[in-house]
A = this chain, B = another copy of it.
Amino acid sequence: MSKHLTKRAEDYSKWYNELVVKADLAENSAVRGCMVIKPYGFAIWEKMQAELDRMFKETGHQNAYFPLFVPKSLFEAEEKNAEGFAKECAVVTHYRLQNDPNREGKLRVDPEAKLEEELVVRPTSEAIIWNTYKGWIQSYRDLPLLINQWANVVRWEMRTRLFLRTAEFLWQEGHTAHATKSEAVVEAKQMQDVYAEFAENFMAMPVIKGVKSDSERFAGAEDTYTIEALMQDGKALQAGTSHFLGQNFAEAFDVKFTSKEGKQEYVWATSWGVSTRLIGGLIMTHSDDKGLVLPPKLAPIQVVIVPIYKGEEQLEAISKKVDEIVKELRKKGISVKFDNRDTFRPGAKFAEYELKGVPVRIAIGNRDLENGTLEIARRDTFEKQTVNQNDAVVVIEHLLEEIQNNLFQKAIDYRKENTTVVDDFAAFKKAIKRGGFVSAHWDGTEETEDRIKEYTKATIRCIPNDAKEEVGACVLTGKPSTKRVLFAKAY
């Protein structure tokens, strides 16, 4: 199978598109820009959801569910937010179909069933949620309000790519309300930390935490905290954002509370989200020319066992031994699949699991039974070892950890090699052309940002949280700057 996969060096973009489909993760649907997430791809999303949901709950958040539709009048209430999303909104205008009198067996929109007010399919839920919060918040006792929702959203993007940019995508969106500004800022930063921890510890995808420049901010936010990852082709991926929304939505929807001192004040807000886009990031961080490479912590199948046999009898003897091993592995919480299909040969199975990125593959044949051994191969390095069956569980447990760590370390190394510090524009252009993160001084103006984008297609990914204060000169204008920011071309 994998021999039909385009090589990354040939055409990275084509490699990605092919891999997503060949590894059975997702495919395009009959609806422009909308994807079908196939069971194997969805299993990765379920693993991501489970970990994130746990982290959200551990930080005090509860899940809820708000309507898919936003009445236009609510949608437009927070003007910047509305302006930011208006151009990519799917709009429901009618609520009924009827038989088409001109075409037997066909339907048409019933012109009589026009909605009085159009409904926007949510591109994000601040408007509908803050309109709801108005009824929930009266006093400081009602705060903080810490709510998350898992949902589908729709943004009518013109150019779409599976997982990375689709018209409909799945995500979670947290929406919190606070009595004070500082508490809201702490919350927004906390969720950035949660996202970074998830990206690094589970996805094995290193990220830079930082804040967005004014022009890259979320529409309606005061500050957008982001995590930025570097893909294998040298392009950055915005992997998650957490917004400090100030009092913008509270003002737009008139959400006030009575403070401890008895004063009426507007509520402070945050919102934060990650989406199925993360699956795209996961793929592009680790995978290779043979196919998907998955970090064990998010792999739907962590270990696959392939029997090497001739005839029923051998298969039966092998299966008996395998059943024991499977039981032991499951006891340790390891997800394992025994592929005993007789419609495929071992070689084809090996190729399939390589393509699907299963971290550990076990092969066990007749001779292994005699010797009490089995062969363990790891997906990340292709290393193989023959181990005693009695040691298998311990070896595998250890190996899964090692693979997880190795993938993270490789990605860290890659990012290090592909982060360039530059001090003049010639070097800047060269570095951007080569790809990767470019750390440079910037004079803080939108104008300079725009010109750099025009010249190089690079954008400011973020002003890193750990950027040092230093005296510098803008890489384009030479004007004074106190901090380096991170540029890159981005998805």
Q: Is the CB of B31 within 8 A of A107?
A: no
Tell me the complex Cα distance, A75–B107, Å.
9
Tell me the complex Cα distance, A120–B132, Å.
27
Q: Is the interface of A mostly helix, strand, loop or mixed?
A: mixed
Tell me the complex Cα distance, A35–B68, Å.
10
Given A93-B94, A95-B88, A96-B88, A69:B34 Cβ within 8 A: yes
Asked if A72 is at the interface of the complex by the 8 Å CB criterion, the answer is yes
Q: Is the CB of A120 within 8 A of B97?
A: yes
Q: Is the CB of B97 within 8 A of A89?
A: yes
Given A75-B107, A156-B95, A119:B31 Cβ within 8 A: yes
Given A75-B107, A76-B106, A96-B87, A69:B168 Cβ within 8 A: yes
Residues of B within 8 A of A76 (CB): 105-107
Residues of B within 8 A of A98 (CB): 86-87
Given A96-B89, A119-B90, A69:B31 Cβ within 8 A: yes
Q: Is the CB of A30 within 8 A of B71?
A: yes
Asked if A402 is at the interface of the complex by the 8 Å CB criterion, the answer is no
Given A98-B86, A107-B82, A68:B154 Cβ within 8 A: yes
Tell me the complex Cα distance, A43–B132, Å.
19
Given A88-B96, A96-B87, A119-B31, A141:B343 Cβ within 8 A: yes
Asked if A102 is at the interface of the complex by the 8 Å CB criterion, the answer is no
B-contact 0/1 string along A126-143, CB 8 Å cutoff:
001001100100000100
Interface size class of A (residues with CB under 8 A): 35 or more
Q: Is the CB of A86 within 8 A of B96?
A: yes
Asked if A315 is at the interface of the complex by the 8 Å CB criterion, the answer is no
Tell me the complex Cα distance, A90–B115, Å.
10
Asked if A64 is at the interface of the complex by the 8 Å CB criterion, the answer is yes
Q: In whole Å, how far is A63's beta carbon from the nearest beta carbon of chain B?
A: 5
Asked if A200 is at the interface of the complex by the 8 Å CB criterion, the answer is no
Tell me the complex Cα distance, A36–B38, Å.
29
A sample of 16 inter-chain contacts (CB < 8 A) reads A27-B135, A30-B132, A31-B70, A31-B71, A34-B67, A36-B66, A37-B64, A39-B147, A42-B65, A68-B121, A82-B107, A88-B96, A90-B92, A91-B92, A91-B93, A97-B120
Chain A contacts to B: CB under 8 angstroms: 27, 29-31, 34-39, 42-43, 45-46, 62-72, 74-76, 79, 82, 86-99, 105-107, 109, 118-121, 128, 131-132, 135, 141, 147, 151-152, 154, 156, 168, 170, 343
With A30-B131, A42-B64 known, 19 other A-B pairs at CB within 8 A are A27-B132, A30-B67, A31-B69, A34-B67, A34-B68, A37-B64, A39-B147, A45-B65, A46-B63, A65-B170, A68-B152, A86-B96, A86-B99, A87-B98, A88-B95, A89-B96, A90-B95, A91-B96, A141-B343
